Amino acid sequence: MSFKNLFIEHQRSAEEQAWIDEEIAEQEARFSKIEKEMQDLAPQRDTWYHEFLDRVSTIGFNMDGDDKLVIKPEDLPVKPEGHRDRVVWKHGADGD
């Protein structure tokens, strides 16, 4: 990620590097905890997904702002065979 803004060259001290290293280690632990919690939420999420599909095929899907489109039940997506529910992706589309 980059905000594409100005970066002023400077020397990172050993003290600063140590601080960053400690924060990286803690962030790894935080990430793993979140990943586990989100896996544990899978059964609840499955219900939410199906309620969502019921709503978009009844009340409608928000296409743009409040403009809604009711999706025909036959057009609703099917859960892929053998799909493992996953919502946390460490580096998004760039893999782990």
Partner 1 sequence: MARPHIEPFCDRDVHFKNMLLPGFGRDMGFKMLSLDTDSGACSMTVQFGGGYKQAPGFSWSEMEMMVVEGELRVGDRSVRKGHYFFVPAGYAMPAISSEQGALVLMMYNTAEPSHVEATEHHPQCQLNLYHDVDSYMDIPWAVGNVTKPSVASGCLIKLLNYNPISHAMTFLYCMTPNFYQDNISYHDCAEESYHLWGTSWMMQFGDLPTGGYFWRPAYINHGAFASEFGCIALGRTDSKLFNHFHYNPWSTPVQNRERSGARLYQRDPLLYRWAVSKDHNHPHGPEDFETTMPRRGEGFDQAGARVSDGKQHSHWHGHHHHDHGHHHD
Binding stretches for partner 1 (CB under 8 A): 1-8, 10, 12-13, 15-16, 19-20, 23-24, 26-27, 30-31, 34, 38, 41, 44-45, 48-49, 52-53, 55-56, 59-66, 68, 71, 76-77, 79-80, 83, 86-94
Task: Please give the sequence-ordered ranges of beta strands (E in DSSP) within 1-96, or none if there are none.
Answer: 61-64, 67-69
User: Shortest Cβ distance from residue 74 to partner 1 (Å)?
Assistant: 13
Specify the DSSP class assigned to residue 82. T
**C-beta separation of 38 from 88 below 8 A:** yes
- 61: which 2 tokens? 């899907």
User: Shortest Cβ distance from residue 87 to partner 1 (Å)?
Assistant: 4
